[in-house]
Amino acid sequence: MKRALISLLMWLSATFAGTAADDLPPAPPALAQHQAQDQALVLPDIDEDEIDPETAEAFGRAGDAYGGGDFTAAISIWKRLAEAGFGPALFNLGVMHEHGRGVRTNYAAAAGWYRRAALKEVPGAFVNLARLHVEGRGVKRDPAEALHLLEQASQLGSAEAQFNLGAAYMKGLGAKADPQEAAVWFEMAAEQGHALAAYNLGIMYQAGKGIERDLAEAERYFSLGAEAGDALSHYALGAIMVDKPGNLKAAADHLRIAAEAGVVAAQNRLAILLATGKGAAGGKDGITRDRESALMWFHVAAGLGAANAAKNRDALAATLTDDVRARAKRRADAFRPKPVPPTEPAAADSSN
């Protein structure tokens, strides 16, 4: 791509170095560490109608203690419930031993608690035990056993297990790589609202990898991921829309959400859009230019290592006043990523 021109007189003809619409961040790996943390530290909900009131009350007290940082009290209650064979308590004891909360970290003990919880059909126990087998922590490293455990949890309806099973088949973990099989499990998880599964499936449809290329389906799954609060899906939607006439406002909204969550490619792409007010498709559907905000986002992206953003930052800065440059830099220095909240999908019309 051409480098951005720094001459003020030539500004309108400058071309920023961007990111191709289909050059999306890679799909997360199977059983990635951030997914492991999310899965392990979310204590399971229980249906109080299906257990006796005393157990429900005790489980709730333990959860309150855990939330308040009193891990010793939480473990004490969960041990009493575990002795009675209560699955969620068995699972939580595995969490505590795996992450050293109230006890010393002990992966072998964690695996033991997860096995007992799996016998009670707690889906998260299968997923966490599978991860330990992938990592070889507290148990023998055994990807095939991990795959078997994920299959069991998937049959119980666990979207997290279905996502990880899809990722395992995508990478050939525990079995021969099979993108078509991966797509099946990603779809099952995505339809349950699993954000990263929707994003991965969107990439597969966009690239035609393992399934027939279908850009409409790719956009649909990116939309599902965005609704579930996935920043990468917001970026993917923005990257698609910025190249279509009449979609710049929506593109900017999606790119901004992803940029604020820390997606570097989105920060650079949003900055280009704000600097020029135009998308790749051109036309009369531009948005209001905001060069100060554009420079701020170029600063942020460049600070995170995006080479194109550094070039773009320098090109844009040369056309702006000292005051604007200073404000943009202060805003960039104050930037902190924030999580993307899920959104409620549009309600169906029931007025018939």
Q: Please tell me what DSSP assigns to residue 29.
A: P
In a domain, 285, yes or no: yes
Token pair in block for residue 205: 């449809």
pLDDT in tens, 132-160: 999 999 999 999 999 999 999 999 999 99
Could you list the residue range(s) of the whole structural domain that residue 294 is in?
A: 1-21+242-342
Taking the alpha carbons of 87, 91, 94, 96 in that order, is the dihedral positive or negative? negative
Q: Are 111 and 138 in contact (CB under 8 A)?
A: yes
Low-confidence ranges of the chain (pLDDT < 70): 1-49, 279-285, 344-352
d(CA 322, CA 287): 25
CA dist 159 and 171 (Å) reads 18
Whole-number pLDDT of residue 45 = 63
pLDDT at position 12 is 20
> Phi and psi for 200 in degrees, rounded to 5?
-60, -40
CB atoms within 10 A of CB 196: 26
- Single out the residue of 167, 168, 226 nearest to residue 199, CA to CA: 226
215 within a domain of the structure (yes/no): no
149 in a structural domain: no
> Would 188 be classed as within a structural domain?
no
**Cα–Cα distance for residue pair 329/207, rounded to 1 Å:** 37
What's the residue count for the chain? 352
pLDDT number for residue 344: 64
Tokens 């799909």 map to which residue? 27
Q: How many domains does the chain have?
A: 1
Residues ≥6 apart with Cβ < 8 Å to 287: 248, 249, 252, 273, 274, 277
Distance CA 211, CA 156 (A): 26
Say how many C-beta atoms besides its own lie within 10 A of residue 51's C-beta. 14
Rounded to whole angstroms, the Cα distance separating 90 from 323 reads 60
State how far the Cα of 3 lies from the Cα of 315, in Å rounded to an integer.
9
pLDDT of 183 reads 95
Q: How many CB atoms lie within 10 A of CB 248?
A: 22
Residue 61 maps to a domain: no
CA atoms within 13 A on the CB side of 193: 7
Q: Is residue 189, in this structure, part of any structural domain at all? A: no
3-state DSSP call for residue 265? Answer: helix
Helices (H), 28-67: 33-41, 53-67
pLDDT score of 82: 95
Residue the block writes with tokens 């990635």: 32
Is residue 23 left, alpha or beta, with left meaning phi > 0 and alpha meaning psi from -120 to 50? Answer: beta
Look up residue 172 and give its amino acid.
Answer: G
Residue type, 83: E
Q: Is residue 233 part of a domain?
A: no
Residue 183 corresponds to which tokens in the numbers above?
């797509």
Q: For residue 29, is it within any domain?
A: no
Q: Given this model, what pLDDT does residue 122 score?
A: 93
For 44, 114, 154, the CA distances from 90, given in Å and listed in that order, are 11, 7, 20
Q: Which two tokens stand for residue 113?
A: 């608690």
User: 96 with 105: CB under 8 angstroms?
Assistant: no
